[in-house]
Structure 1
Amino acid sequence: MLKISRVIIVSLCCILICILGTIYSLIRFRNPSNVGVIARWFGRLYPLFGLDVEHRFPAEADKIGRCIYIGNHQNNYDMVTISYMVMPRTVSVGKKSLIWIPFFGILYWVTGNIFLDRENRTKAHGTMTELANRINSDNLSIWMFPEGTRSRGRGLLPFKTGAFYAAVSAGVPIVPVVCSTTHNQIDLNRWKNGKVICEMLPPVDTSSYSKENVRELAEYCRRIMSERINQLDDEIARQPQI
Structure 2
Amino acid sequence: MDLMWLVTGVVLLLLLSNERFRYHCKFIIFIVSCLIVATLPIPLMLHRPKDARNALLPALGCKVISQLLGMSIIVRGKENIVKDQGCVVLINHQSALDLRVLAELWPIMERCTQVAKKSLFYLWPFGLACWLWGTIFIDRVNAEEAQQKLNSTEQAIKHRKARLLMFPEGTRGDGNELLPFKKGGFHVAVNTQCPIQPVVVSKYLFINSDRKHFGRGLSIITILPAIPTEGLTKSDIPALMEKTRNAMVEAFKKTSDEARQFSENSSYLLHSKSE
Assess, with a 3 A threshold, how the Cα gap between structure 1 residues 90 and 184 changes in structure 2: closer, same or farther.
Answer: same
Q: Please say if 1:14 is aligned against 2:34.
A: yes
Equivalent-residue separation in structure 2 for 1:189 and 1:95 (angstroms): 27
- Match of 1:230, SS? helix
**Residue deviations 1:132-155 (CA, integer Å, cap 9, x gap):** 233113332210111101112351
Tell me which of 92, 97, 119 is aligned to 1:72.
Answer: 92
Map 1:1-242; keep pairs closer than 5 Å. Answer: 1-2=15-16, 3=22, 6=26, 9-10=29-30, 13-35=33-55, 37-59=57-79, 61=81, 63=83, 65-86=85-106, 87-182=109-204, 185=207, 192-239=215-262, 240-242=264-266
Letter in 2 for 1:140: A
Task: Give the aligned length.
Answer: 242
- Match of 1:148, SS? coil
Equivalent-residue separation in structure 2 for 1:120 and 1:70 (angstroms): 21
> Could you tell me the percent identity over the aligned residues?
30
Q: Note the C-alpha offset of 1:98.
A: 0.5
Letter in 2 for 1:238: Q
Q: Say if 2:147 and 2:184, in contact at 8 Å, map to a contact too.
A: yes
Q: Say if 2:85 and 2:158, in contact at 8 Å, map to a contact too.
A: no
Letter in 2 for 1:163: G
Assess, with a 3 A threshold, how the Cα gap between structure 1 residues 64 and 55 changes in structure 2: closer, same or farther.
Answer: farther
Q: Note the C-alpha offset of 1:8.
A: 6.3
Q: Say if 2:88 and 2:195, in contact at 8 Å, map to a contact too.
A: yes
**Residue deviations 1:62-90 (CA, integer Å, cap 9, x gap):** 73531111100101111123541232111
- Match of 1:175, SS? strand
Match of 2:4 in 1: none
Q: Say if 1:74 and 1:183, in contact at 8 Å, map to a contact too.
A: no
Assess, with a 3 A threshold, how the Cα gap between structure 1 residues 12 and 63 changes in structure 2: closer, same or farther.
Answer: same
Per mean C-alpha deviation after superposition, the further-off stretch among 118-127 and 81-90 is 81-90
Letter in 2 for 1:241: N
Q: Say if 1:50 and 1:191, in contact at 8 Å, map to a contact too.
A: no
Letter in 1 for 2:74: E
Bigger radius of gyration? 2
Letter in 1 for 2:217: G
Equivalent-residue separation in structure 2 for 1:183 and 1:190 (angstroms): 10
Per mean C-alpha deviation after superposition, the further-off stretch among 217-226 and 123-132 is 123-132
TM-score, normalised with respect to structure 1: 0.88
**Residue deviations 1:155-189 (CA, integer Å, cap 9, x gap):** 10000111011011111100011100016626899
Q: Note the C-alpha offset of 1:27.
A: 2.7
> Can you give the 5+ residue segments of structure 1 that lack an aligned partner in the other structure?
none
Q: Note the C-alpha offset of 1:5.
A: 6.2
Assess, with a 3 A threshold, how the Cα gap between structure 1 residues 206 and 193 changes in structure 2: closer, same or farther.
Answer: same
